C-alpha cells in the first residue's frame, strides 16, 4: 500500500486545525497509508519508506520553521539519490506572508529533485472553512499521486 509521509511543524492552534484537515483529506483516498511525523523527529528512514511527502510549516520571519529546515538538513544527503522524483506537496501558514517560506522549500525540494504534484498552499490568518477544505483537497491530491 502506498505511504504518504506528512512532515509537519505544528506549534499553534491554527496549524493543529490544518493538520487535522490533512488527516481528513488523506483519509478520503483509499489504499493510502498515512504516516504523520513532527519535523523534529522525522528522519531518513521515514522518508525512504514513503512513496510521497506532504510538508507543513509556519512561516517564521519570512522562512520555513527551523524544525522543517532541520528535517531537510537531516535527510538531504542520506536521501539525495534515493528519492529523486518523489511526489510532494506543501502547505505554509503565516500571519501575513508565506512567500519566503514557500520559496525556500521549493528550492530545497528542487535540489532533492522531488516532483511537486500539487500547487503549494499558502494560508494566512485564522484558517476558515474554505481554507480547511483547500487543505483537505491538497492532501487528497498528493495521496492520489502515489
**Does residue 23 register a pLDDT over 90?**
yes
Quick: pLDDT tens for 59-69. Answer: 988 999 999 99
Mean pLDDT of 121-142: 97
- CATH architecture under which domain 3-144 falls: 3-Layer(aba) Sandwich (3.40)
Q: Which of 110, 131, 60, 100 has the alpha carbon at shortest distance from 39?
A: 60
- Where in the chain are the domains? 3-144
> For strand 121-124 and strand 87-94, is the pairing parallel, antiparallel, or unpaired?
parallel
- Cell reading at 145: 499521486
Q: What is the share, in percent, of the chain residues with pLDDT greater than 70?
A: 100
Quick: pLDDT tens for 96-109. Answer: 899 999 999 999 99
Q: What pLDDT does 96 receive?
A: 86
Mean pLDDT of 49-76: 97
Q: Which of 84, 146, 129, 136 has the alpha carbon at shortest distance from 111?
A: 84
> Mean pLDDT, the chain, as a whole number?
97
Amino acid at each position: 500500500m502506498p505511504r504518504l509521509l506528512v512532515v509537519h511543524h505544528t506549534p499553534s492552534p491554527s496549524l493543529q486545525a490544518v493538520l487535522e484537515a490533512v488527516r481528513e483529506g488523506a483519509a478520503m483516498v483509499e489504499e493510502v497509508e498515512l504516516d504523520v511525523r513532527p519535523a523534529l523527529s522525522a528522519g531518513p528512514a521515514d522518508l525512504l519508506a514513503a512513496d510521497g511527502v506532504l510538508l507543513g510549516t509556519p512561516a517564521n520571519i519570512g522562512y520555513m520553521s527551523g524544525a522543517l529546515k532541520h528535517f531537510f538538513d537531516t535527510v538531504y544527503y542520506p536521501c539525495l539519490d534515493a528519492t529523486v522524483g518523489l511526489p510532494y506537496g506543501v502547505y505554509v501558514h503565516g500571519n501575513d506572508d508565506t512567500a519566503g517560506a514557500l520559496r525556500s522549500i521549493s528550492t530545497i525540494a528542487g535540489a532533492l529533485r522531488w516532483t511537486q504534484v500539487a500547487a503549494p498552499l499558502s494560508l494566512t490568518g485564522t484558517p476558515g472553512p474554505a481554507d480547511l477544505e483547500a487543505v483537505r483537497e491538497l492532501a487528497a491530491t498528493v495521496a492520489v499521486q502515489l
